[in-house]
Amino acid sequence: MKLSELFGKKIPTLSFEVFPPKTSGNYDTVKTATAEIAKLKPDFMSVTCGAGGKTDIYTADIAASLSRDYGVTSIAHMTCVGTSRENAEKRIRELEKLGIENILALRGDIPDGFDINKCDFRHASELTAFVKSISDICVGGACYPECHPEAANINEDISHIKEKVNAGCEFLTTQMFFDNNIFYKYLCKLRDAGINTPVVAGIMPITHASQVERAVKLSGSCMPSRFLDIVDRFGSDAAAMKQAGIIYATEQIIDLLANGINAVHVYSMNKPDVAAKIQENLSCIIPSAGVSVQDRHALF
């Protein structure tokens, strides 16, 4: 199913993410984790890609297996930094052949010393326009409630998001955030800028204290003191931190749903137990979570 169609139904959706292995040695572990998350029957699952397209083969394989073997709609991430138009087209044709109907079109991080101006694609909007010019695959893009680190300010960043949408991006998925108020303000800014595509809220359950620094570095997110207190108090107790992190993420999701945000994506990071617990926590709030996509839509 195309995600544009799914979001068009305006029902609450819960989705999970997996990332591919860096090497073939870890592939079986990733496949097992993917299968366990897929068995939860989320509305869709995203499969990330590694920097420089090195893991693209796994991304495509996992995304194809999700729909073929588990009946779960998938979205394959695709970066374009350093990719030629010819290779991008080859990749899109491969994804089409595998029956993948959705991609998240990304620029990717620019490697040190790399001259992006010499590349076929300089921004995700250029990849988006390219995909839409050769395929009817559904294209989503990334957005940043706390501003992309390279942008001078949030208004400039949003003007580039608008270019991405004008190029054919059909929905946006946010970078992780830990303070819902930041997301609500950002959503208002997007709407004020005339960006009316569905926006999927990205929630990262922090289940280890060690993830905090990495998450802040990766996303530039600010951690609310309420969350830092949790890490201070429970960070040295693995089981307590995991439970508290899952509850914090669940509370964020409940607040989003209560405020009319329908699409929630959990950065489940190949952790089936975390995905399952969050889904269970929401079992009465999204009563149909876990029901197959087809049956689920019949409920509404």
Q: How far apart are CA 85 and CA 91, in angstroms?
A: 10
* Distance in Å, CB of 138 to ligand FAD, minimum: 15
* Distance in Å, CB of 221 to ligand FAD, minimum: 11
In terms of CB distance, is 87 or 292 closer to ligand FAD? 87
CB atoms within 10 A of CB 5: 13
Show Cβ contacts of residue 292 under 8 Å, excluding neighbours closer than 6 positions: 41, 71
Confirm if 79 and 53 have CB atoms less than 8 A apart.
Answer: yes
Residues annotated as part of the active site:
17
Interface ranges with ligand FAD (CB under 6 A): 48-49, 51, 77, 79, 104, 106-109, 123-125, 142, 148, 150-151, 157, 160, 163-164, 173, 175, 202
* Distance in Å, CB of 107 to ligand FAD, minimum: 3
Q: Packing angle between helix 85-97 and helix 124-134, nearest 10 degrees?
A: 60
In terms of CB distance, is 230 or 266 closer to ligand FAD? 266
* Distance in Å, CB of 104 to ligand FAD, minimum: 6
Count Cβ neighbours within 10 Å for each residue of 154-168 and write b for 16 or more, e otherwise.
beebbebbbebbebb
Type of residue found at 284: C
In terms of CB distance, is 79 or 270 closer to ligand FAD? 79
Give the residue from 111, 38, 117, 34 showing the smallest Cα distance to 79.
111
In terms of CB distance, is 19 or 248 closer to ligand FAD? 19
* Distance in Å, CB of 111 to ligand FAD, minimum: 11
DSSP β-bridge partners for residue 143: 174
In terms of CB distance, is 160 or 297 closer to ligand FAD? 160
Q: Is 234 left (phi over 0), alpha (psi -120 to 50) or beta?
A: alpha
Q: How far apart are CA 224 and CA 255, in angstroms?
A: 15
